[in-house]
Amino acid sequence: MENDDFKLDQEIVAATKDVFSTMVMMELEDGPPLIGKGGEIQSNISSMLGLGGGVRGVLAIHCPADVAKGITGAFLGMDIEELNDDVKDAIGELTNMVAGNLKVFFANFDIDVKLAIPTTVIGESYHTSGLFGATRIVVPFCCANGTFWIELKYMRSN
């Protein structure tokens, strides 16, 4: 399942922009995708959602604190002072929605992808890792509050 066949980097951009324009009312500018290993992402909050079935993978949104607060504020229509439950729930929900768009995308190719539930990690100092034979695509997005990253790791199941 090569990225070239599915143009997943483009689909990630489309899926994310769709969610952010309709639900967050936020304009995004996508940056050049990073395909493969490497690329340390500095973030304070990461929401991750597992994909199973036709594709085995993990979708994640990684945000620095200020960006997460800005996105949540726009999503909920209020001022967010700290990385609280609202932020955790908002970023988790956005991850769920982007994954939902990817599910629909794969369904167009008769690939049935099942979604798990989002979990969110909040911290001063952590990094996410683990490829386990999957292909990794990271797309940076620029919004009014700064940059965040969408990361998709995936492999085709049998």
Partner 1 sequence: MDIKEKIVEAAIEIFSSMVMMDVSVSEEEVNDSGKLKDTITGLIGLAGTHKGVLAIHIPHPVAMAITSNFLGIDVTEINEDVEDAVGELANMMGGNVKTVLTGNGRDIDLSLPSTISGASYQFQTSKDVEKVVVRFDTAHGPFLVELQLEK
3-class state of residue 22 by DSSP: helix
Interaction of residue 125 with partner 1, rule CB under 8 A? yes
Give the CA radius of gyration of the chain: 15
Say how far apart CA 60 and CA 46 lie, in whole Å: 7
Binding partner 1 (rule: CB under 8 A), the pick from 89, 111, 142, 147 is 89
Q: Tell me which long-range contacts 4-7 makes (C-beta under 8 A, separation of at least 24).
A: 6/109
Comparing CB distances to partner 1, the nearer of 39 and 123 is 123
Site residues for partner 1, 91-110, by CB under 8 A, read 92
Interaction of residue 48 with partner 1, rule CB under 8 A? yes
The binding site for partner 1 (CB under 8 A) comprises 46, 48-53, 56-58, 60, 88-89, 92, 114-130, 132, 134, 153-155, 157
